[in-house]
Amino acid sequence: MRGVHASVFGLAMALSGSVFAANYDLPDNIPQRKPGLWEMVQTGTVGPNKLRSIKRYCLDAKADRALYELELLRNELTVVYSDIHCRPPRFTMEGNVLTGDMICRTNSLTDHQDAGQDYHWKVAFDGDTRATFEQEATPVDVMLLLDVDLVENQKWVGECPAGMQPGDYIDEGFHYNSDADPDEGRKDNIYESSRVVGKMLNEGKEINKRLGAM
């Protein structure tokens, strides 16, 4: 099995690409986060390391849903260079809680049929101004992929500041094994990030197809 791994936290987002439309069947009744600026602080573990990251998103109804799709794209990209493909994600919306999973399996002919990585997540909404997003990623019989156990506390902090349009976000970066807040202040955009990640994902799929199952 090929063992080239692109870390979900270390991907370079400097490439440009054509417009990419994610095709995930998100439930229509996901509670909408209140339009405005959202601060999202993520903590937990990635392999043996403790993670702390901060992002601030300017959201409206369209950007709100696009952000879910971007996170799913990033999950798929994390495993594609390990010759792993993902099945369509499954969602359940009950009350104020969205749960889901995405099962990803190796293309290798020599690996066990369960080899790959499974994603599981839960989003609990507290009105339209707070949410808690929990995600686990569990590798099964594959090299270089790591166990991930993260909790992201999301809260509305006010109107989007001047210079930020819906879809824009500020990525403060992340720290491993430190309680200090990162402060990189890198500006980005949900739609541009989706185009870049989608382009890289499609390229990874094409490479896997050309090389064939190993």
pLDDT, tens digit, 9 for 90 and up, residues 5-48:
333 333 333 333 334 456 788 999 999 999 999 999 999 999 99
pLDDT surpasses 50 at 167: yes
User: Which residues make Cβ contacts (< 8 Å) with residue 3, sequence separation at least 6?
Assistant: 82, 143, 144
Q: Which residue has the higher pLDDT, 156 or 185?
A: 156
pLDDT surpasses 90 at 194: yes
Residue 198 bridge partners (DSSP)? none
Mean pLDDT of 177-192: 90
Beta strands in the chain (DSSP E): 36-46, 49-59, 84-86, 90-94, 97-106, 116-126, 130-140, 148-158, 168-176, 186-189
Q: What digits encode the pLDDT tens for the residues 40-70?
A: 999 999 999 999 999 999 999 999 999 999 9
End-to-end Cα spacing for the chain:
6
d(CA 132, CA 124): 5
d(CA 165, CA 59): 8
Mean pLDDT of 172-186: 88
Residues 86, 140, 213: CA angle, nearest 5 degrees: 55
Q: Give the predicted TM-score (pTM) of the model.
A: 0.84
User: Which residues make Cβ contacts (< 8 Å) with residue 206, sequence separation at least 6?
Assistant: none
Query: Which tokens belong to 8?
Result: 């979900």
Looking at residue 130, what is its pLDDT? Answer: 98
Radius of gyration of the chain (CA): 17
Looking at residue 22, what is its pLDDT? Answer: 60
User: Which residues make Cβ contacts (< 8 Å) with residue 134, sequence separation at least 6?
Assistant: 121, 122, 123, 150, 151, 152
Structure confidence at residue 149 as a pLDDT band (50, 70, 90):
very high
Looking at residue 16, what is its pLDDT? Answer: 33
Looking at residue 14, what is its pLDDT? Answer: 33
d(CA 148, CA 138): 7
Looking at residue 107, what is its pLDDT? Answer: 83
Mean pLDDT of 110-126: 91
Percent of the chain residues topping a pLDDT of 90 = 70
Looking at residue 190, what is its pLDDT? Answer: 97
Mean pLDDT of 79-89: 92
